[in-house]
Structure 1
Amino acid sequence: MNEKKTLIKCRQLALGYGSKDIVRDLDYDINVGDYLCIVGRNGSGKTTFLRGLAGLLSPKAGSIELCDGLQRNEIGFLPQMTVVQKDFPASVEEIVLSAFQGKFRLLPFYRRAQRERAMECMALTRTESLAKSCFRELSGGQKQRVLLARALCAAERLLLLDEPVTGLDPESTETMYHIIEELHKKGMTIIMVTHDVDTALDDANRVMDFNDISVKGK
């Protein structure tokens, strides 16, 4: 049996806002190829932890160490959709291509390789036929798949998903879960915050329960 490679090490990690610590004394390793689902009640620290992994929130104490050569620009992050995002007056292709503005210096045009990668990501999320459509005119499920495609443009090794099916109808939810599972089978390491415990147990190879301190520290 091959030994698993560690992708991220968290040691004595504390994360929070202002004077309030939301995540405390967390020791946890994430391995290459994991499909990790994070569950727990609202306010337990799930999104805070994900933001820390994405590099959007600095540790108040302890450390988050990227291992096995992982770079920040190889991490894609799909946050919870905001009202502003739902009303972007841009085409699907423009939304997906905008991911490269965060990976490279802003250019007056996109390179051919970037456009090809964007089309690959749209194909993976079944949105390539929507490339010229206006984003704000799409259904909720379509919008979320477009934003997933955008996150994939940044995700070369690790994809962080914060409740990616919230507000979606059952059919769109099932489609999203199928896409995420397909991405994992292709070798992507997945970390997903979810309230859907049954799906987490069915699809994930690891579950992290923020309601249970004993589990948090493993």
Structure 2
Amino acid sequence: MGAVLTPPAIKLRDLTLGYDRHPAVHHLDGTIPPGALLAVCGPNGAGKSTLIKALVGVVKPMGGAIEFSGGREKKKIAYLPQAAQIDLSFPIDVFDMAAMGLWRGIGMFGGLSQADAQKVREALAAVGLTGFERRQIGALSGGQTQRLLFARLMLQDAPIILLDEPFSAIDERTVSDLLALIGRWRAEGRTIVAVLHDFDMVRRGFPDTLLLAREKIFWGATEQALSPENLSRARKMIEAFDDRASACARAG
């Protein structure tokens, strides 16, 4: 892939997010530095996916702000939603699905040059899908589908990569291969934020963690974030939240 410029840092300033005026994330402050490899963890209902969608720009803040160094530019962000949000019944083959990662450069209706087609083939080879180019996406296994989506991410060549539960219900070999790919992205200087549930995986591969329970429990070194005390506090916080509550004002 092409050379990567220093990716912008992301600053969260007193960020509150929610739906229909019911907040899902309260008063979140913190900075994601350039080149970070950050896991976002927490119990079900903690606001993890809401935060990722806000970073993408799909969810707008109810309060506070998300600030990108140099300003937000969508072309700088590659996003992998949860698998359930992807329509695998759509009649498209593996090659064309991967090539969608180039749309921002060539336009939705632009034709692929020979160089572009070679980039697609290289991305599919990098995720182990050589020979699958003309297979329909609906015929892929869960692991093959996730490999394909990572190939599409590669072709976006973005310095910020946001992943929402990228390893759900896929085989261990695929998980290992895709974790290695994430490691290469980090070595290139990209900023990676991933919503994850497997704490052992987070401890093995992610140096920093945001433990979220509608508000920040801990943001920092993974071993500290995932301490028994912090995990217990996160569970108790979720149990105490009232989903019908309105946004609250920060005191002070």
TM bucket (normalised to shorter chain) is 0.7 to 0.9
User: CA–CA distance in 2 between the matches of 1:83 and 1:188?
Assistant: 25
Aligned to 2:14: 12
Residue 139 of structure 1, aligned match among 116, 141, 156: 141
Q: Which runs of 5+ in 2 are unaligned?
A: 1-5, 222-252
Residue 215 (structure 1) aligned with residue 207 (structure 2): no
Question: Is 1:152–1:159's contact at 8 Å kept on the other side of the alignment?
Answer: no
Name which of structure 1's ranges 89-98 and 102-111 shifts more when overlaid on structure 2.
Answer: 102-111
| Rg larger for | 2
Cα deviation for residue 102 of structure 1 reads 5.2
Cα deviation for residue 99 of structure 1 reads 2.9
Q: Which runs of 5+ in 1 are unaligned?
A: none
TM-aligned CA distance change 1:148 to 1:206, over 3 Å: same
Q: How many residues align?
A: 215
SS in 1 for 2:182: helix
Question: Is 2:35–2:186's contact at 8 Å kept on the other side of the alignment?
Answer: yes
Instruction: Give the TM-score normalised by structure 2.
Output: 0.76
User: CA–CA distance in 2 between the matches of 1:76 and 1:83?
Assistant: 16
Question: Is 2:7–2:159's contact at 8 Å kept on the other side of the alignment?
Answer: no
SS in 1 for 2:178: helix
SS in 1 for 2:202: helix
TM-aligned CA distance change 1:76 to 1:133, over 3 Å: same
TM-aligned CA distance change 1:5 to 1:94, over 3 Å: closer
Question: Is 2:81–2:164's contact at 8 Å kept on the other side of the alignment?
Answer: yes
Question: Is 2:25–2:47's contact at 8 Å kept on the other side of the alignment?
Answer: yes
Amino acid at match of 1:196: D
Q: CA RMSD in A?
A: 2.6
Cα deviation for residue 42 of structure 1 reads 1.0
Name which of structure 1's ranges 65-74 and 12-21 shifts more when overlaid on structure 2.
Answer: 65-74
Cα deviation for residue 112 of structure 1 reads 4.3
Cα deviation for residue 29 of structure 1 reads 0.4
Amino acid at match of 2:87: Q
Amino acid at match of 1:50: I
Instruction: Give the TM-score normalised by structure 1.
Output: 0.87
